[in-house]
């Protein structure tokens, strides 16, 4: 095996460990403030400590883990300030995308498809709504066909998922209600009313923000 081959193999291992850790954090299997040392991750996944360290650093960069001086990396603890910052960042990015889409009266088909999927779900609140909900919002961003805008949005997406995970089973809306709000946004885009689309989005995300902040205070 050449040096390049070995380097690629290490990268593959690091990416695999990063994905597994990310899934466990977002599923709530690793709770907030849980320390994740290189030794612990190395033992957990049966990998070398340099690979464990690299995986930890990737998750620190993505915002799921935080590392302070003289302390191990830990799963980030969600608080109201973080929730408001994350959701308002979403609103800024998505509002700009909606205005651009509305100017062209272009409704991204993946957004419509994700919303149709939500309408087919059984009545009642369910954590199953989280994935199509995020795919709907991501499709709005991707609809403007800007690699950098999409990359910026995805840089906060894990934090969005972590915030939404805190809401699951606690003040989560019915899929039908979420889909109806989404449909209003798409209708505004289709008619070229970017300001209305952005206003509807602000209400939609603002309501989710307040439900999560209230849940955190309980």
- Residues 182 and 196 occupy one common structural domain: yes
Collect contacts of 182-188 with beta carbons under 8 A, ≥24 apart: 182/111, 182/115, 182/118, 182/136, 183/115, 185/98, 186/107, 186/111, 186/112, 186/115, 188/98, 188/102
- Length of the chain counted residue by residue: 218
The whole-angstrom separation of Cα 190 and Cα 31 is 42
Among 128, 127, 133, 110, CA closest to 180: 133
How many angstroms from the chain centroid is the CA of residue 108?
19
CA atoms within 13 A on the CB side of 163: 26
- Residues 47 and 103 occupy one common structural domain: no
**pLDDT value of position 65:** 87
Tell whether the model's pLDDT for residue 218 goes beyond 80: no
Number of domains in the chain: 2
Instruction: Kindly tell me the number of DSSP H helices and DSSP E strands found in the chain.
Output: 9, 3
Kind plus residue range of the DSSP H or E element containing 191 = none
**pLDDT value of position 172:** 63
For residue 121, what are the domain limits? 80-217
Whether the CB-CB separation of 184 and 200 falls below 8 Å is answered with yes
Q: Which of 44, 75, 106 is the last residue of a domain?
A: 75
Q: Which of 40, 75, 110 is the last residue of a domain?
A: 75
- DSSP-assigned states of every residue in 186-206: HHHHHTT-HHHHHHHHHHHHH
- Residues 135 and 187 occupy one common structural domain: yes
**0.85 exceeded by the pTM?**
no
167's CB contacts (< 8 A; 6+ apart) are 208, 211, 212, 215
Residue 152 is part of a domain; what is its CATH number? Answer: 1.20.120.530
Q: Mean pLDDT, the chain, as a whole number?
A: 86
Among 145, 138, 134, CA closest to 101: 145
**pLDDT value of position 71:** 80
Q: Which of 75, 100, 133 is the last residue of a domain?
A: 75
- Residues 38 and 131 occupy one common structural domain: no
Higher per-residue pLDDT: 172 or 130: 130
- Residues 100 and 65 occupy one common structural domain: no
């Amino acid at each position: 095996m050449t040096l390049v081959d070995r380097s690629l193999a290490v990268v593959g291992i690091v990416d695999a460990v990063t994905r597994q850790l990310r899934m466990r954090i977002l599923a709530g299997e690793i709770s907030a403030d849980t320390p994740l040392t290189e030794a612990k991750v190395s033992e957990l996944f049966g990998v070398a400590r340099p690979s464990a360290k690299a995986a930890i650093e990737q998750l620190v960069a993505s915002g799921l883990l935080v590392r302070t001086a003289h302390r191990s990396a830990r799963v980030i603890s969600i608080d109201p300030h973080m929730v408001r910052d994350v959701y308002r960042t979403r609103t800024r990015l998505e509002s700009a995308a909606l205005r651009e889409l509305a100017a062209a009266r272009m409704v991204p088909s993946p957004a419509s498809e994700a919303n149709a999927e939500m309408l087919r779900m059984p009545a009642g609140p369910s954590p199953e709504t989280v994935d199509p909900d995020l795919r709907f919002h991501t499709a709005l961003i991707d609809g403007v066909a800007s690699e950098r805008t999409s990359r910026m949005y995805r840089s906060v997406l894990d934090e969005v998922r972590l915030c939404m995970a805190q809401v699951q089973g606690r003040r989560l809306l019915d899929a039908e209600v979420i889909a109806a709000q989404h449909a209003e946004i798409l209708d505004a885009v289709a008619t070229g009313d970017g300001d209305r689309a952005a206003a509807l989005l602000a209400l939609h995300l603002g309501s989710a923000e307040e439900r999560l902040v209230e849940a955190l205070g309980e």
